[in-house]
Chains A and B, each alone.
Chain A
Amino acid sequence: MSGVKRLLGRLRAFFHKQALDAAIDDELAAHLDFAIEENLERGLPPEEARRLALVSIGGFEQAREKHREARGLMTLDILLQDLKYTLRTLGRDPGFTVVAILILALGIGANIAVFSVVNTLMLRPLPFANPQQLVWIAPPPTKCGLSCATYSTDAYDTFRVQTRSYQDVTGYFAFSSPGNLSLSLGGAMIPATSIDVISNFFQVLGVQPAMGRVFTQGDARNGAPPVVLLTDAWWRRQFNADPAIVGKAFDMNGQQTTVIGVLPRTFDFGAVFSPGAKVDALTPLNLYGPPRDWGNIITFIGRLKPGISLAQARQDAENASQYMCWNNKQPRSCGSYKGYVVPVPLKDYVSGRLRRALVVLWSAVGVILLIACVNLSNLLLARAAARSKEFAMRGALGASRGRIVRQLLTESVVLSGAGALLGLGLAFILVTWLAHQGAIALPLLSTLHIDGASLGWTVLIAVSAAVLFGLVPGLRMAGGNLQESLKDSGSGAGLGRKHERLRAALVVTEVALACMLLVGAGLLLRSFLKVLDVDLGFQPEHAAAVKVEYNDSAPTNDASVQKRTAIFQQVLARAGAIPGVEAVGITDYLPLGQNRAWGTPLPKGVRPPDKAPPSPLVYVITPGYLRAMGTGLRGRDFTWNDGLKSENVVIINQAFAHYLADFAQWPKGDAIGREITSGGQDLHIIGITDDVHEESAEGEAGWQIYYPVTQAGPTGAELVMRTTLPPNVLATSVLRTLRDLNPKQPAAEFRPIQMLVDHANSPRRFFMLLVAAFATLGLLLAALGIYGVISYSVTQRTQEIGIRMALGSTMGRVQADVIGGTLRLAAAGVLLGTVASFAVARLIASLLFDTSPSDTATYIGMALALLLVAVVSGYIPARRASRISPMVALRSS
């Protein structure tokens, strides 16, 4: 209790210094008067009375100082003094201060921003209740896309019944395409994206609605009234954050659909499950309605019971898999999931792949901070050297060593504090910008923000940076010999030499670190260029796609096909007539997007292999699509005459054709004209296309099979146009045409195909750009470091250079000398950095694409770049040196 009171008293005293000083002065004056008076009464002469009184008090100043010490906070006083002094000295040297703070701000800012990214993607738990219990259940990665990563509704039911270690299992319909929901608010249809989820989805994830309620089993029953849950973002954007929205009904896909709730802001389906995609609404998936027999459509997400280990859950899933049937009505399909039901922690599924890239990124900014610190240490050292006399003087006047070190530390803390503050500002801008990059297909990126952890990280970095770079010059200064410093006239004797060696070592370190960063960035850049160079199997330039709304519902399949054919023909005719359009076609799925498979068609009359090969991805297309997409074709394209009455035709890609020809041992290995069979249906191969990269530019192209819309049912329609104009120019006229044909056509997004490719490549681009930015920053800092050291040594050697010039040395000789010194430093750094890079490059080998970690061109290029930068940053001081006038130099000291 009294401790607190005392502290308060001391704090009060600290802040009322002047008033209290005045009070003690009054008291001491009164004291003196009393003493003099008493001495006079004792009969002393006035002079003597006053002298004795003063003696007995024992010094006014001392009494005052003791009083201050007793009442106030001595350390705080000293700190304040140091701070005041620091601000004054820093203010006197604004060039140094600005550069120092800027260097630190860049280093710290980059660190905070990247830490925020790492924290969001890797460290922070998923935004669900007890996220460590959640598992993603899927087969090991295969070639046949989403259809091989999902399960049938029958399999879902069996899994739930047969497992013991799961609290519950949920999932969602994996094949919803963007813009699958048309909202009508009176005007044009508004496209939105909704995902069908199993009714227990939110209970399993542990997500509470912000308003209203989540789905119940009743919502997913046959004949249940249609309901929808809105995401926070859509509720704000489309419904103006209407607080009374729950219970209101809207026309969605032609049905009055009731809003039953709004999801919390923290729940972002796209951020977790389909990076880069925007999901607006969630709707209940009726497991017992039409999707019952659609095959593999559901992804599994399970919640483990408390205390169940992953190994147990895995064993349990393995056991259950032997009872799971693709379709309960087909006993032969039972057990086909064996070995394909593997739970992994949900967090690993979401961001596990990114771990290595993030660690690399993190290390890169760590190196940046290190370079920044080394640089600052260097700057401070140069300053300290210039101030050595000042400190020697202070030492001579009685300042203790500790006091001088404390002063220097205060300076670095002030610098790093300012740097951290500015860095935080920079990081905030960067993070906000990144969080709004919807086009980057990284999970959770939209939830990116600077939180407490990042702030704590900032403080940690700032303080350790301060200590790190403040200590070296501090210790060196305080360790110096007083007399020597006072004598050392700055002509490069004794201490000056030692300083220079240390500074040179720091610069070499800096260059080596920058070299490592540059090599890493160079390798990633080269990989990225290689990825851009990959032949995707289609030409993304000058092509665009737009989703077409159509209605082909009819009583019979035949009638439906006829209706669809008519609609598509009309759409293609009208769209193809738009000026600037070269080729048009329709497909149900675009490459690099969603996909599905229908099982593996095999050569007719050949015994099927024991282990079924992966299924080719299925695309249902119109004549002309392949040309519009720019996919090469051998054989013939579909025509509108390939109808229900003619033979069934398909086009397959080269890889699949190879497999088939090998397997069936067709003569000359050619598949054109051959027959394959799938589900009892004979299919005639009429053409072979290039291999299309359907999942990513980097992965290998898998197998594809194309069916004509006139014979098979598409799941939607993407109109693809190849144009001579920039694709975006066409957007309005195409949409107007589509609206003409079908008033229900929503204002769907007009997507250049290049955008799809960019989206697929965005994670690599993201990492490459960040690492390249950091490497540039590192290079800049290294250049600054080199400049600082050389420029300082030129200043130090002014006299020497002056003498040399006076003795007849030419400007060119002096310049060459200085630049030679620079190159020696840089070369040492590059050598060291190259050796270190060889070791480090192996660690990032898995992030490279078609690029060797010891790629010679990259190493040579980066070394040359560094040396060039070194020469440039050494040239400025060299020029200055060569301009030194002998007369001025010799007179200067």
Chain B
Amino acid sequence: MSKLDLLQGTLDLMVLKTLAAMGHLHGYGIARRIEQVSGNEVLLNQGTIYASLVRLEQRGWIASTWGVSANNRKARFYSITKAGRRQLAEDSRYWERLTGVMDRVLSMSKTSNEEAALDESGEPA
């Protein structure tokens, strides 16, 4: 099975979540963490993580400092800011709603097509 292409905007959210969960991390760490959590199912050009990082930093959702890693290497460490946590909460909610809707839409069975549409229409989205 081939790896998943990342949807537009999802990488930013993954980075935010990773930093929220792990605290202080450098670019390589973030990339590896995402790969591990995804079970190596996403196709991640690790280099693109830096575009995401600079974008998030410009928006003030993460902050960075240069520091030294456990194995004594100089690296840039990122951490999530308060605004970043707010944004993460908001984006997560949005994402959950979206995946919920996607689930329901995709689980439509062929035979009960119309009934399902009628049932669902009554519910608040």
Whether B28 pairs with A30 at a CB distance below 8 angstroms is yes
Mark out the residues of chain B between 10 and 56 whose CB falls within 8 Å of any chain A CB in the assembled complex.
26-29, 31-32, 44-48, 50-52, 54-55
Whether A58 pairs with B59 at a CB distance below 8 angstroms is no
Question: Number of residues in A with C-beta < 8 Å to the partner?
Answer: 30
In the complex with contacts A2-B60, A71-B58, A27-B73 CB distance below 8 A: no
In the complex with contacts A27-B27, A27-B75, A35-B28, A62-B59 CB distance below 8 A: no
B110 lies within 8 A of chain A by Cβ: no
Q: Give the one of B45, B51, B52 with max A CB within 10 A.
A: B51
**Beta-carbon contacts of B48-82 to A below 8 Å, as 1s and 0s?**
10111011001110000000010101111000000
CB distance from B81 to the nearest CB of A (A): 12
Whether A57 pairs with B47 at a CB distance below 8 angstroms is yes
CB distance from A523 to the nearest CB of B (A): 66
Q: Which residues of chain B have C-beta atoms less than 8 A from A9's C-beta?
A: 58
Whether A5 pairs with B60 at a CB distance below 8 angstroms is yes
- CB-based nearest A residue for B50: A67
The residue that A6 contacts in the complex, of B31, B32, B48, B58, with Cβ under 8 A, is: B58
The residue that B45 contacts in the complex, of A35, A58, A71, with Cβ under 8 A, is: A58
CB distance from A328 to the nearest CB of B (A): 85
Whether A27 pairs with B76 at a CB distance below 8 angstroms is yes
Whether A70 pairs with B46 at a CB distance below 8 angstroms is no
Whether B28 pairs with A66 at a CB distance below 8 angstroms is no
- CB-based nearest B residue for A34: B28
- CB-based nearest A residue for B57: A9
CB distance from B52 to the nearest CB of A (A): 7
CB distance from A269 to the nearest CB of B (A): 62
The residue that A28 contacts in the complex, of B32, B44, B47, B58, with Cβ under 8 A, is: B47
Q: Which residues of chain A have C-beta atoms less than 8 A from B74's C-beta?
A: 26, 30
Q: Which residues of chain A have C-beta atoms less than 8 A from B32's C-beta?
A: 38
Q: Which residues of chain B have C-beta atoms less than 8 A from A67's C-beta?
A: 50-51, 54
Question: Number of residues in B with C-beta < 8 Å to the partner?
Answer: 25
CA distance A5 to B60 in the complex (A): 9
Whether B55 pairs with A63 at a CB distance below 8 angstroms is no
The residue that B47 contacts in the complex, of A5, A6, A59, with Cβ under 8 A, is: A59
Mark out the residues of chain A between 35 and 65 whose CB falls within 8 Å of any chain B CB in the assembled complex.
35, 37-38, 56-60, 62-63
In the complex with contacts A31-B28, A34-B28, A34-B73, A10-B58 CB distance below 8 A: yes
Q: Which residues of chain A have C-beta atoms less than 8 A from B60's C-beta?
A: 2, 5
The residue that B71 contacts in the complex, of A13, A24, A37, with Cβ under 8 A, is: A37
A33 lies within 8 A of chain B by Cβ: yes
Q: Which residues of chain B have C-beta atoms less than 8 A from A63's C-beta?
A: 45, 47-48, 50-51
CA distance A755 to B55 in the complex (A): 75
In the complex with contacts A9-B58, A34-B73, A37-B71, A62-B28 CB distance below 8 A: no
CA distance A58 to B28 in the complex (A): 13
CB distance from A19 to the nearest CB of B (A): 13
Whether A70 pairs with B28 at a CB distance below 8 angstroms is no
CA distance A744 to B61 in the complex (A): 88
Q: Which residues of chain A have C-beta atoms less than 8 A from B44's C-beta?
A: 56
Q: Which residues of chain B have C-beta atoms less than 8 A from A33's C-beta?
A: 73
Q: Which residues of chain A have C-beta atoms less than 8 A from B52's C-beta?
A: 70
CA distance A23 to B47 in the complex (A): 14
- CB-based nearest A residue for B48: A66
Whether A30 pairs with B54 at a CB distance below 8 angstroms is no
In the complex with contacts A58-B45, A59-B45, A34-B50 CB distance below 8 A: no
Complex A-B: 12 CB contacts under 8 Å: A5-B60, A6-B59, A27-B50, A27-B75, A28-B50, A30-B73, A31-B26, A34-B28, A35-B46, A56-B44, A63-B51, A69-B51
